[in-house]
Structure 1
Amino acid sequence: MLLTVPNQLTMFRVLVIPLLVLVFYTDLQWRHLICAALFGLAGITDALDGYYARKYNQSTPFGAFLDPVADKLIVAVALALLIEQNGNIWFTLPAVVIISREIVISALREWMAELGARGAVAVSFIGKLKTTLQIIAILVLLAFPDGSPYYLHEIGLITVYGAAVLTLWSMIVYLKAAWPSLSGKTAKTAKED
């Protein structure tokens, strides 16, 4: 069944993306907090769709395809908006690292799936930690632009750098695990604890 609750939550996350962009470019006084709330709501739906899919056995091929796409789209769009908002190398550099890693790992997973070795690039603990820091950084930076009180913007920048470091680390873990397949040998698993 295509329109399961988890799939509806995932599609909702995709629909939040244009709304996030529209609100970002308005002159609303609370636009930064509204953007952060929209991004946070999308994060909650991500957790809920996975929970419902597992608890009620509602996993579908469509959901398995769309869920990671929705995640990567909203993160990439939010980072693109923040690149424009910050307009400097200090933010653009970690944002480009994060976006580039997502593209590389998505392509790697697709390629490994074609080889029947998708499990070799399964999500690791480092990947989950990276995602958590990335979400926190984006939420803080969307809510608190440069010049916000209490150094909240600077805390967001530090967090995005932490996410970028973990992004590179997790990419190395995945590439290392996939290297045997990339070099024509059998793949190992990339899971780390």
Structure 2
Amino acid sequence: MNLPIWLTLFRLILIPFVVALMFVPLPSANIVAAILFGIALATDWLDGHLARRWNQTSAFGAFLDPVADKLIVCAVLVMLVYRDPHYYIALSATVIVGRELTVSALREWMAELGERGVVAVGSLGKYKTAIQMAAIFCMLFDLVQRSGIYLFGVVLLIISAALTLWSMVIYLRQAWPRLSMER
């Protein structure tokens, strides 16, 4: 156990607090939820930075980090759909969660074949993630008022859903030669 792993575990601990705050009927609860989500984003960057800088990367950290990312994104997206069940939010959330499940399963399967590098994270995935996190932060921050910041977040969420589909297609195309092989 090292500091980067503790930061990742802290990010996991934040998830129920962010979700619970989305149920609290106080106008500022969503802002606190957004701040906690922002802290989770900061720890995501920091744990990776420290692990590489201090040469403290580990198999457990490599496993836990993307799990923490996917859990917080999926949990908050489900809650955003619950709080604002418009079709464009539900569809965007479904695309994002579906892609995460598909690509995670694809990576696991490719790892079994010894070819995990075929579906390694690319720059499009990093841009998609940045836009997605900004979208969620804006939507959380302005969840009660639903003014310009919230609408900006919705637009970013739709853009991130489109990028999500695009990146999934790229990963599937990269893996297709292995997927289409007969066993």
Task: Tell me which interval the TM-score lies in, with the shorter structure as reference length.
Answer: over 0.9
Among 54, 59, 62, the residue aligned to 1:61 = 59
CA-to-partner distance for each residue in 1:34-56, whole Å, 9 max, x for gaps?
11111111010000110111011
> Aligned-pair RMSD on alpha carbons?
1.2
Aligned-residue offset at 1:148: 3.1
Aligned 8 A contact 2:27 2:144 in 1: no
Aligned 8 A contact 2:18 2:37 in 1: yes
Aligned to 1:165: 162
Among 45, 48, 51, the residue aligned to 1:50 = 48
Query: How many pairs are equivalent?
Result: 182
Gaps of at least 5 residues in structure 1 are 186-193
Aligned to 2:112: 114
Among 66, 82, 85, the residue aligned to 2:83 = 85
Amino acid at match of 1:166: L
- Within 2, Cα distance between the matches of 1:146 and 1:50? 33
CA-to-partner distance for each residue in 1:140-181, whole Å, 9 max, x for gaps?
0001126433x2221111110100000000000100001111
Gaps of at least 5 residues in structure 2 are none
Amino acid at match of 2:156: T
Aligned to 1:155: 152
Aligned to 1:13: 11
Aligned 8 A contact 1:141 1:157 in 2: yes
Aligned to 1:181: 178
Aligned 8 A contact 1:86 1:146 in 2: no
Instruction: Report the TM-score when normalising by structure 1.
Output: 0.91
Identity percentage of aligned residues: 46
- Within 2, Cα distance between the matches of 1:143 and 1:107? 32
Among 38, 45, 56, the residue aligned to 2:36 = 38
Partner of 1:145, secondary structure, is: coil
Partner of 2:68, secondary structure, is: helix
